[in-house]
């Protein structure tokens, strides 16, 4: 087997690994780059095609539906990919929502750009369109967790990785050798999702993510943190604006709020969910309780505890309501979506708490707020943030250093390839694994290795 590490080598995003064995070629994940440090669109698509030969590629194995793992798939179809995409049922449903949303944003961006351009030659084409997503989606083929299937001489099985709904690590057996692609590895103690599983047998080669390779999660209970924020909002009569990622994070917050409201009725306050994508994904969660720690009744309670906004014009009336109340919105980094509206309308008000619930990439308003830059440039104007900024920790859906080491030990691989992490995370994890006698390596971008 020959492996080429294409994406998520020198960055955390843009996951993509090419595998070639006996004339069968496949990708594990095909994600987009995100954030400002890296180009969203790969500048060297020609080089990429030379590497992976898109038209000859046989299959894509998709670990999960985060954009940095699935966001490139419709583009590959646009460029001539004709194979199938293998993933779990839940990943298929969510990937459709995520890819469509990205296509919509892209079409909007191109439309806006082209409006200002008169020369036909200078007009842009969207990176991919809704039609490309529809074509890609038709080629998605679902597999059940822990049930192996054979394609192109590769025996593959998807093992629950506990990271997010539908997420899997992918085990491949090729001519008596076993390869494991971890995908993103979840936490043991996730609020909503079932924990990761392990196969009984060891593997020969492990390709592993290392997002939290140099960090340990705080032990402070996220429910306790949120509860004390609600208490202070109630006391000071403040509104809480919660920008949160639409997939996983919003549903986790709704679940936490439901638990808190059940335990402490006095903290119950109105919750408004203003994120069309979060509500769409909430419906998929509702259909997938077999993959969750909570049952249908709990999901029903989550839905009853919030009012889902259907039209943007409802926003204005929400902000007229008596405080305290909560608005759960997106995007999680305040880089787009309705979160921008709430930042503009309430960010300058002292009776507002902006609750940041996850990692914030450089260049986003969320990054500014969490790095004490409260003098923003918003809608072509200077803007002073006077709202209280609070960070809620503990909602990450990635395992920390101890959990990553536990994962590697459970599989006892002969060689471990570390991907999907900042430089320092990968280097620290490599050191720790080497101390434990693992042969751990950090592949560079486009590096190929021949494994037998």
234 burial level (CB within 10 Å; 0-12, 13-18, 19+): middle
Determine the interface stretch with Zn ion among 66-74, 222-230, 284-292, 426-434 (rule: CB under 5 A).
Answer: 66-74
3-class DSSP state for residue 66?
Answer: coil
The answer to whether the CB of 168 falls within 8 A of the CB of 184 is no
* Count of beta carbons in the 10 Å neighbourhood of residue 438: 20
Minimum Å gap between C-beta 21 and Zn ion is 26
Q: Does 132 bind Zn ion (CB under 5 A)?
A: no
Q: Does 400 bind Zn ion (CB under 5 A)?
A: no
Position among 6, 14, 35, 66 found at the interface with Zn ion (CB under 5 A): 66
d(CA 172, CA 153): 10
Minimum Å gap between C-beta 421 and Zn ion is 12
Minimum Å gap between C-beta 188 and Zn ion is 17
Q: Does 190 bind Zn ion (CB under 5 A)?
A: no
Nearer to Zn ion, 126 or 162 (CB): 162
Q: Does 184 bind Zn ion (CB under 5 A)?
A: yes
Size of the site for Zn ion (CB under 5 A): 2
* Count of beta carbons in the 10 Å neighbourhood of residue 400: 20
Determine the interface stretch with Zn ion among 53-61, 129-137, 176-184, 266-274 (rule: CB under 5 A).
Answer: 176-184
Phi, psi of 20 (to 5 degrees): -135, 130
Q: Does 78 bind Zn ion (CB under 5 A)?
A: no
Interface with Zn ion in residues 341-380 (CB under 5 A) = none
Determine the interface stretch with Zn ion among 117-125, 184-192, 227-235, 343-351 (rule: CB under 5 A).
Answer: 184-192
| DSSP one-letter string for 109-158 | HHHHHHHT---GGGPPPPSS-HHHHHHHHHTEEEE-BT--EEETTEEEEE
The answer to whether the CB of 257 falls within 8 A of the CB of 134 is no
Minimum Å gap between C-beta 69 and Zn ion is 6
Determine the interface stretch with Zn ion among 43-51, 59-67, 222-230, 414-422 (rule: CB under 5 A).
Answer: 59-67
The answer to whether the CB of 421 falls within 8 A of the CB of 12 is yes
Location of structure tokens 């539908």? 166
Interface with Zn ion in residues 193-232 (CB under 5 A) = none
Q: Does 160 bind Zn ion (CB under 5 A)?
A: no
Determine the interface stretch with Zn ion among 64-72, 99-107, 280-288, 420-428 (rule: CB under 5 A).
Answer: 64-72
Angle at 268 (CA atoms; ends 267, 272), nearest 5 degrees: 130
Binding site for Zn ion (CB under 5 A): 66, 184
């Amino acid at each position: 087997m020959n492996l080429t590490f294409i994406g998520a080598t020198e960055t955390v995003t843009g996951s993509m690994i090419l595998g070639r064995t006996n004339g069968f070629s496949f990708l594990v994940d095909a994600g987009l780059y995100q954030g400002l440090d890296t180009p969203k669109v790969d500048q060297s698509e020609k080089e990429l095609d030379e590497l992976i030969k898109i038209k000859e590629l046989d299959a894509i194995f998709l670990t999960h539906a985060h954009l940095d793992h699935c966001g490139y798939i419709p583009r590959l179809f646009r460029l001539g990919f004709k194979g199938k995409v293998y993933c779990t049922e839940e990943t298929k449903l969510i990937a459709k929502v995520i890819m469509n949303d990205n296509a919509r944003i892209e079409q909007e961006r191109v439309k806006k750009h082209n409006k200002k351009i008169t020369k036909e030659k200078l007009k842009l084409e969207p990176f991919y369109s809704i039609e490309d997503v529809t074509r890609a989606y038709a080629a998605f083929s679902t597999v059940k967790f822990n049930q192996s299937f054979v394609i192109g001489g590769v025996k593959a099985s998807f093992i629950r990785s506990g990271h997010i709904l539908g997420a899997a690590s992918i085990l491949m057996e090729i001519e008596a050798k076993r390869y494991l692609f971890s995908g993103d590895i979840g936490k043991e103690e996730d609020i909503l999702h079932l924990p990761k599983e392990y196969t009984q047998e060891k593997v020969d080669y492990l390709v592993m993510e290392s997002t939290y390779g140099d960090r340990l999660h705080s032990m402070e209970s996220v429910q306790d943190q949120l509860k004390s924020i609600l208490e202070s909002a109630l006391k000071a009569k403040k509104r809480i604006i919660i920008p949160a990622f639409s997939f996983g994070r919003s549903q986790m917050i709704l679940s936490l709020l439901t638990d808190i409201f059940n335990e402490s009725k006095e903290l119950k306050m109105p919750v408004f969910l203003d994120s069309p994508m979060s509500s769409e994904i909430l419906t998929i969660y509702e259909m997938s309780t077999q993959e969750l720690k909570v049952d249908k009744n709990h999901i029903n309670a989550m839905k009853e505890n919030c009012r889902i906004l259907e039209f943007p014009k409802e926003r204005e009336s929400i902000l007229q309501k008596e405080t305290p109340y909560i608005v759960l919105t997106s995007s999680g980094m305040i880089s787009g979506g309705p979160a921008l509206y709430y930042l503009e309308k309430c960010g300058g008000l002292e009776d507002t708490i902006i609750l940041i619930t996850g990692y914030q990439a450089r260049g986003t308003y969320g990054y500014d707020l969490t790095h004490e830059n409260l003098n923003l440039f918003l809608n072509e104007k200077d803007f002073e943030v006077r709202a209280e900024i609070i960070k809620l920790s503990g909602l990450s859906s990635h395992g920390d250093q101890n959990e990553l080491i536990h994962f590697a030990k459970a599989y006892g691989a002969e060689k471990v390839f570390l991907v999907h992490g900042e430089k320092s995370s990968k280097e620290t994890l490599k050191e720790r694994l080497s101390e434990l006698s693992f042969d751990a390596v950090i592949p560079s971008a486009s590096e190929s290795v021949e494994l037998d």
